[in-house]
Amino acid sequence: MIEDNIFFKPFRTTGGAVPFDRITTADYEPAILQGIREHDAEVKAIAGNDMEPSFENTIVALDRAGATLNRVLGVFYPMLSANADDELMEVSNRMAPRLSEHFNSITLNEQLWHRVKHVHDHFDATKRDEEDCMLMRETYDGFIRSGANLQGADRDRYRELSKRLTELTLKFDQNALKETPRYELWLTAGDLEGLPESALDAAKQAARDKGREDDWLITLDAPSYIPFMKYSDRRDLHEKLYKMYNRQCTSGEFCNLDVLRDIANTRLEIARLMGCNCFAEYKLQHTMAEKPEAVYNMLNQLRDAYLPVERSEMERLTEFATQLEGKPVEIMPWDYSYYSNKEKDSMFDINDELLRPYFELSQVTQGVFGFAKRMYGLRFIPNHDAQVFHPEVEVFDVTDEDGKAVGMLYLDFFPRSTKQSGAWMTSFREQYIDENGNDVRPLVTLTMNFTRPTQAKPSLLTVREVETFMHEFGHALHQLLSRCKYQSLSGTNVYRDFVEVPSQFNENYVYEREFLDSFARHYQTGEPVPQELIDRLIASSQYGAAYACVRQLGFGFLDMAWHSISDPYEGDDFQFEYNATKDVKAFEPVEGCIMSPQFTHIFSGGYAAGYYGYKWAEVIECDAFDRFKQEGIFNRETARQWVDNVLSRGGTVAPMTLYKRFRGTEPHIDAMMRRDGISGINN
């Protein structure tokens, strides 16, 4: 019976854990529809309240409305990216336009808008705390950004465009998810030159899973693709796999070329309705950068600083490859991982395979948890009773030093066909204070695509995978340590160009001896990672820093180009991408290869006109870590200030204000330059 739908009432589980054992795909659609009906009724009551509009009966009431819808969407959206079958995607296709229309109906409700505007115009900030002031501002600005001031035909057009954009971004996302598993590179015994044992074991296991005992399988999942490109001696197969990867969604059933143009043009029309010249101008109003000019200033500054070093790195790498092969070598994009790994190993005698045995996944997990205990006093207790959405998922109860509940953490480590590539943090429930004064604690999930265990070995991670774990764990801490009143401002609900600060801050520890010594043990002998190996790892940390930065700048310039168009675009996508990134390209374009149709970050993942935020945040987090380097990387007093001024405050105060309270000054680029070994820059 529909009344039995698990989402209709708060979960009656310990800590409010999601009862996945009682949830079926059939539950989502009726729960979403019921949530919409309940939310509509609540909004109608707020808009039609006979009492004079006040902060409590309008602004706070809106923030607390929609409990059922929040409950179901808090589970539904994470499952779409982590555990989505065709049936769940079909539900999403049906519900996406309904949800878009529902949320538009709130911000375009004129009666409600008049109440919000009345409260805003009569709001006395001197009688309110910072969080109340921010909720007022965010609510008012949110209505403005969502078309509340539009009139007549413009309001109707905005509704149409918003619905269309939701459908397009969902289609883009699902095409990317469905396309990746279609690409496979099958190997026989003669194709394995150069591959280390770990890659061979993984490829053999992947083939066994497909019923082929005598072959090896390479896929486009990162734990398979990256080692092959890095270690295989077969340049011809590098090229083949590279072209597979970079031609995704360019043709056939899951082609995204028309979709991405429609997305860009739809966003442009929305921006124009809002009085802006381009979508970037519209989107950046709600960021630290504020304007496209500030983004381009940062991208250009980093380009000017890093590009000469990157060019020098590439010249050196070409000379190295030529000496290695005994003949002139023109490095192609599919060669970079292979030759750079060889050069790095020759310079520092270090590579992923030397370190893998010391990064066994369960030990790394304990190291990551140990970091949080040492910094913030958090404890992570395995919860074997909590239900999970996949048998491989692990759950932990998180408490503070006094045993008080902080939240729950779900860990989902390995690739599967129903999961998107990459790594991310989401929440089944965010932190807030309810109407009864109860502190509702978050339910956080980390989703990764790490190297799987095989029949012969446990999961042994690369350094980059350890960095990824620490990165996503930084997002998790931002959620878990939140101490905010309002859900819409808690945890990671911050400006897009600030949200990566806590996550990228965490990555610094991977190259700190004091952190590595706490967990890095050989999975067979239990011996700690040798100090000389740590020394070589730290010494190698600057290798390729300029190339990595310039590559990220390319993504940033591409994002800004798509969202800075001021006229509808119908041109050649390949030429457009080349023009956007040519000033920071390490290689000439390869026919048929293009990033845009698989660039889910900007076309379906919330980073439209925001990808620059990774580098923007990197400047900030490097500056923050510089203080820890001076005062002690595990200094509890410094860590307390980091929590009090950043991690616990969510979006309750403007991020630069929060940061200056921690650091005393605005961030400077110097710390990032020093970390990356870039000098001689006029800052």
Q: Which of 492, 511, 507 is closest to 655 using CA atoms?
A: 492
Is the distance from CB of 510 to CB of 470 less than 8 angstroms?
yes
Torsion angles phi and psi, residue 207, rounded to 5? -70, -40
Give dist(CA 248, CA 64) in Å, integer: 42
Among the options 179, 472, 500, 577, which is catalytic? 472
Is the distance from CB of 7 to CB of 72 less than 8 angstroms?
yes
Q: Which residues contact 58 (CB under 8 A, 6 or more apart)?
A: 46, 49, 115, 116, 119
Is the distance from CB of 346 to CB of 363 less than 8 angstroms?
no
Amino acid at 642: W
Active site residue 472: yes
SS3 633: coil
Helices 110-121 and 25-47 meet at what angle, rounded to 10?
A: 60
Tokens, residue 597: 């149709």
Is the distance from CB of 165 to CB of 267 less than 8 angstroms?
yes
Q: How far is C-alpha 616 from the geometric centre of its chain's CA atoms? A: 15
DSSP 521: B
From the CB of residue 576, how many other CB atoms can be counted at a distance below 10 Å?
19
Give dist(CA 460, CA 194) in Å, integer: 19
Is the distance from CB of 603 to CB of 263 less than 8 angstroms?
yes
Q: Rg (Cα) of the chain, in Å, rounded? A: 25
Is the distance from CB of 510 to CB of 625 less than 8 angstroms?
no
Is the distance from CB of 112 to CB of 43 less than 8 angstroms?
yes
Active site residues: 472
